[in-house]
Homo-oligomer: A and B are copies of this chain.
Amino acid sequence: MDFFEAVRIRRSVRSYTDESVPEEVMERALDAALLAPNSSNMQTWGFYWVRSPREKGLLVQACLNQGAARTARELLVVVAEPRRWKENRNEMLRILTGNQAPQFALDYYSKLIPFTYGFRWIAPLKWLLFGVVGWFRPTPRRPWSGRDIEEVSIKSAALASENFMLAISAQGFSTCPMEGFDEARVRRLLGLTRADRVVMVISVGRENPARGVWGPQIRFPRDKFIKRV
């Protein structure tokens, strides 16, 4: 399907028919998700395709039993997993060394990344240091704290989520991204730690033509959001 057509037809669908979603449709959309740009290519994300009846039932409950989850054929949980930074950093270094990458790329992963993702216990010190330096010249102001690093990871996971949702639309099925869920229960269900953040739960299925979408798509005038500077 044409790219702009996929963007245009994507709507958040809150009721699905009982038609099942072929595995290939899900797999192809997951592959598209993994191609999203992400912070420093650290790929600190996880995609949990919840299929077992028991787990799926619990996930629907954790999504507050909303229709978009209850009637879904498939459910995907997108998770930001910043704790994976060290393992992925090592993997990046290994691959780059094998590819004879330039020194600046190796330095990036061997020096800058550990300084940014690690040493969180000196976050206030980093904040102070870069605040003072920033007085004199342009300086990155974040990420320093654990929450800052979560935020970076959440952003990347959101980029991947959008690839996934558009890829489902491009194959004629529909999605609904949900943020109304019980994060503690979803974490427990998936065996995640408190360091993991559930970014969104995405339901997938064939749109129920009678009540899949709630009405016409509402967007405020574009001039409200787009400013030329």
Instruction: Report how far A117 CA is from B215 CA in the complex, Å.
Output: 24
- Number of copies of this protein chain within its complex: 2
User: Which residues of A from 184 to 229 have beta carbons under 8 Å from B?
Assistant: 184-185, 189-190, 199-200, 214-220, 222, 225-229
A43 and B7 in contact (CB under 8 A), knowing A88-B220, A138-B64, A163-B162? no
A39 and B3 in contact (CB under 8 A), knowing A62-B138, A138-B64, A155-B154? no
Q: Quick one: which of B6, B12, B142, B155 contacts A158, CB cutoff 8 A?
A: B155
The answer to whether A49 touches B229 (Cβ under 8 A) is: yes
Q: Within 8 Å CB of A140, what residues of B? A: 64, 180-183
User: Which residues of A from 41 to 57 have beta carbons under 8 Å from B?
Assistant: 41, 43, 45-52, 55
Total contacting residues, chain A, CB less than 8 A:
89
User: Which residues of A from 98 to 121 have beta carbons under 8 Å from B?
Assistant: 99, 101, 105
A124 within 8 Å of B (CB atoms): no
Q: Quick one: which of B5, B41, B138, B229 contacts A190, CB cutoff 8 A?
A: B229
Give a binary string over A1-43; 1 marks a CB under 8 Å from any B CB, 0 the rest. Answer: 1111111101010000000000000001011101111010101
| Closest B residue to A92 using CB positions | B218
14 extra interface residue pairs, beta carbon distance < 8 Å, beyond A151-B151, A154-B155: A2-B3, A7-B35, A7-B163, A30-B226, A47-B225, A64-B138, A65-B138, A99-B216, A140-B180, A151-B154, A158-B159, A158-B162, A159-B161, A162-B162
